[in-house]
């Protein structure tokens, strides 16, 4: 596998395209199921400018078909803890801060069901 890294006048861009069949997502909680989908595809575009702290853009497009989602009360705490761990506790330093924009688009086709417990 080789990854091309060509920097142009406006910076570096790359894209990701993937598709998964029969996706099953679980958690470590007592009721494990989170998400099931017949197909799950991700198309993502990333742009990194040449200037050190210029604005980056990340565009995600998620496509799901025949999707089922289980929402248990403990999942809410699980997702909150996961996001807090990802974002971290430290405040950002203005010297190392890099602005970015994340655009997320969800497209659900065929059927979508949410099961609350």
Q: What is the residue-averaged pLDDT of the chain? A: 87
pTM of the model: 0.75
Instruction: Give the tens place of pLDDT for each residue, 94-104.
Output: 777 888 899 99
Indicate the pLDDT class of residue 1, thresholds 50, 70 and 90: low
- CA dist list (Å): 23 to 20, 71, 83, 99: 6, 17, 22, 33
Amino acid 86: pLDDT: 77
């Amino acid at each position: 596998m080789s990854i091309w890294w060509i920097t142009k006048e406006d910076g570096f861009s790359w894209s990701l395209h993937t598709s998964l069949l029969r996706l099953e997502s679980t958690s470590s909680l007592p009721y494990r199921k989170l998400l099931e989908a017949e197909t799950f595809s991700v198309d993502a575009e990333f742009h990194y400018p040449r200037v050190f702290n210029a604005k980056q853009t990340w565009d995600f497009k998620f496509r799901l078909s025949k999707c089922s989602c289980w929402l248990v009360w403990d999942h809410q705490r699980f997702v909150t803890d996961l996001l807090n761990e990802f974002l971290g506790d430290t405040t950002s330093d203005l010297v190392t801060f890099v602005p970015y924009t994340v655009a997320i688009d969800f497209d659900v086709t065929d059927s979508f069901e949410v099961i609350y417990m």
